[in-house]
Structure 1
Amino acid sequence: MRYLFRTQYKQDVGLFRHNGDRFWYGLLLLLVLAGPALLGEFYIGELGAVFIFAIAGVGLMLLVGYTGLISLGHAAFLGIGAYVNAVLLARGVPFLVTLPAAGLFAALCGAAIGRPTLRMSGLYLAIATLAFGSIVGTVLQKWTAVTGGFDGFAVPTPTIFGVAIEGATGIYYVALAVLVFVLWVSANLLRSPAGRAMVAIRDSEVSAQSMGIHLARYKTLVFAISAGMTGLAGALFAHYVRYLAPDSFDVLLSVQFVTICFVGGLGSLRGAILGAMFVRLLPQLIAIVRDDLPFGIGRLPGLEPSLFGLVLVLVILFQPGGLNGMWLKMKTWFQAFPFKRQASFRRQKSYAKSERLR
């Protein structure tokens, strides 16, 4: 096992714990960069979609996993980012301007919805964000002069310094660059006083307020940051699907984003990426094995939403740490092998937040 010997205080807030992390993350980045040379176009397209969902998952993880605020309206922020980017591109604005503009406009909408819902929490906040998503969906349907309504909106091909970003490889590299940027921003945010305030609000709002943390300010801030990151994902999603329609940003997509956080593991940026891989690749796995399932199960309508719901319930009941928790257990087991103790890996009873003081 590796034992960390800290010689200065900055080591506790560093981006990497030790040189081993730098080596493995650097190697992973090199493999990802070499992906288009090793894989076919179909797989590159699916990995690009995973990167896009991971960007939205990281944004929602800051809200749900680190601040404890549930949102069922993040598909609306994805749609806002997608349409803002597509409409500006159609009017001749460069892609290097439309991409941050989509994130900024979505962040402003997030701050606007976050401010009046500050007194809500739990189920009430989820219902409020769900209503916001319905309002945005109606606007996208009815504002036909801008969005095209149900007729759809063709997304122009973006260019960067005169080079057209088209095909699976172009979207793959742009999405990868944005994902790395979002992870860097999130990691630095969580190391800052604002990040520690977010975690304090998640654990106990009363205790956080008694320590001088301004609840309204930080809740509005995290809503804006989360919505802005989802808006960036929406801008890339527009180029992935190439044709926008209002029904693409429904409540099922918001449920998928929440599934990313819970299945990946709450309170973990790595969990957001693992959850995005699960949510995006599970439909492809279902499509492969659909014809081989017995008793006509593969032809049942609503199979994918049912599996998402079943997996979410099983994870909450039997693996609250999600995929990231499973990875940490496996890593600890291999590090301790063969001098492991069974008690170290025995599943402990988990208590709900309202039961801890009983």
Structure 2
Amino acid sequence: MRFVFKTSYAQDIQLFRDRMDAFWYVLLAAAVALLPVVMSEYYVGETTWVFIYAICGVSLMVLVGYTGLISLGHAAFLGIGAYAHAFFIKHGVPWVAAVALAVVITTACGIIVGLPALRMSGIYLAIATLAFATIIQEVFSRWESVTHGFAGMPVEKPVIFGVSFAHDTAFYYLCLFFLVVSLWLTRNLLRAPTGRAWVAIRDSEIAAQSMGVNIAIYKSMAFAYSAALMGLAGALFAHKIAYLAPDIFTILLSIQLLLLVIVGGLGSLHGAVFGAIFVALLPPVIAILRDSIPATLSSVAGATGLSLFGAIGEGVGAFLRKPGVEAGIFGLILVLVILLEPLGMYGRWMKIRVYFSTFPMYKRATFKRQKTYMRSERLR
């Protein structure tokens, strides 16, 4: 067993827990950097989606997991960043400047939307952000001079300082770079007084205010920073999807982003990455099962002479092809996670790690489930 004894406050807020922790992160970074060498082009593209969704997860994790503010409108910030970046690229603005302008615009929108958060919390804030997302989707549909409405807006491949990132592998490394930068900035911000203030607001606004935390300023900062990261993800999202349309940025996408942070594990940057892996890879897995299950059971039926297997395979394939099945599976998984593993995927990983690090003296009561409360359920 290996225990880390903390003897100073600086040790408590350092970037890595110890040298061994830093070694594993370096090893993980090397493995991720070498993935395109051993994977096919299709899987490189799917992994790129994981990076983009991870940036979205970090953005929403700052707001929901660390500040305790529920948002159902982050698909609108993603759309604002995507459309703003595509508009500037179309008008000849350099790529870096277009990304910076998209981030600035989404940050301004985040501050505007964050103003109601000063007087709202819980379900009321969620309704307000949902209304904002609905309004922005109508703007995307009606403002045809900028967004081209339902006709859609094509997005060119990124070219940075004369270097083209049109190939999937090049774009993979570009998204990986921005994910690492987002994680590094967010991690350092959470170790700073700003991050400590966000966590204090999440736990108790009254206690945070009694300690001198300016609730209005720090809530606005949380919305602004979260929107900025979502604007960055929107710029990468625009290039990945290659063609923007208003019906992409719906309430369903906002729910998927919220599902990402809940399934991954609230209050953890690791959870944002785990949730991104789940949200990005679940649709391809469903598509693979939709095609492979009928073929596998049909071959079994041919080998055994039992037509029942073939009928079951065709029924499962027909079910998975129905519209709305993917959203239903997302909802079912969300319910199961809340009931069976409220700490999310990262919480399960922590249990496994503690079990092996303390074996054979692991106690089942180490992670005894306790009732947790949403912000709107606490006494004010």
> Does the alignment reach a TM-score above 0.5?
yes
Asked if structure 1 preserves the Cα contact closer than 8 Å seen for 2:116 and 2:125, the reply is: no
Distance across 2 between alignment mates of 1:68 and 1:48: 29
What corresponds to 1:184 in structure 2?
Answer: 184
What is the root-mean-square deviation in Å for CA atoms of aligned residues? Answer: 1.5
Shift of 1:7: 4.7
Aligned counterparts, 1:1-358, within 5 A: 1-291=1-291, 292=293, 294=312, 295=315, 296-344=318-366, 347-352=368-373
Asked if structure 2 preserves the Cα contact closer than 8 Å seen for 1:58 and 1:272, the reply is: yes
Shift of 1:355: 7.4
With 231-240 and 100-109 compared, the bigger mean Cα shift is at 100-109
Specify whether residues 241 and 355 from structure 1 end up closer, same or farther in structure 2 by C-alpha distance, changes over 3 A only. closer
Shift of 1:159: 1.1
Residues 86-138 of structure 1, C-alpha deviations (whole Å, 9 max, x = no match) = 11111111111111221121111000110133211111111110111111111
What amino acid is aligned across from residue 129 of structure 2 in structure 1?
T
With 324-333 and 209-218 compared, the bigger mean Cα shift is at 209-218
What amino acid is aligned across from residue 326 of structure 1 in structure 2?
R
Residues 283-315 of structure 1, C-alpha deviations (whole Å, 9 max, x = no match) = 111111124274343233311111111111111
Specify whether residues 355 and 95 from structure 1 end up closer, same or farther in structure 2 by C-alpha distance, changes over 3 A only. closer
Shift of 1:356: 7.6
Asked if structure 1 preserves the Cα contact closer than 8 Å seen for 2:117 and 2:219, the reply is: no
Which structure has the greater CA radius of gyration?
2
What amino acid is aligned across from residue 322 of structure 1 in structure 2?
G
Residues 15-65 of structure 1, C-alpha deviations (whole Å, 9 max, x = no match) = 001001110000111111111111111001001011000001101000000
| Structure 1 residue runs without a partner (length 5+) | none
What amino acid is aligned across from residue 316 of structure 1 in structure 2?
I
Distance across 2 between alignment mates of 1:299 and 1:121: 39
Tell me the number of residue pairs that the alignment of Structure 1 and Structure 2 aligns.
Answer: 356
Distance across 2 between alignment mates of 1:341 and 1:191: 31
Asked if structure 2 preserves the Cα contact closer than 8 Å seen for 1:171 and 1:236, the reply is: no
Residues 177-209 of structure 1, C-alpha deviations (whole Å, 9 max, x = no match) = 111111011111111111111011111111111
Residues 206-231 of structure 1, C-alpha deviations (whole Å, 9 max, x = no match) = 11112221111000000000010001
Identity %: 54
Shift of 1:337: 2.1
Asked if structure 1 preserves the Cα contact closer than 8 Å seen for 2:80 and 2:234, the reply is: yes
Distance across 1 between alignment mates of 2:347 and 2:204: 23
Specify whether residues 342 and 157 from structure 1 end up closer, same or farther in structure 2 by C-alpha distance, changes over 3 A only. closer
Specify whether residues 94 and 24 from structure 1 end up closer, same or farther in structure 2 by C-alpha distance, changes over 3 A only. same
Distance across 1 between alignment mates of 2:121 and 2:378: 19
| Structure 2 residue runs without a partner (length 5+) | 295-311
Asked if structure 1 preserves the Cα contact closer than 8 Å seen for 2:77 and 2:227, the reply is: yes
Asked if structure 1 preserves the Cα contact closer than 8 Å seen for 2:65 and 2:268, the reply is: yes
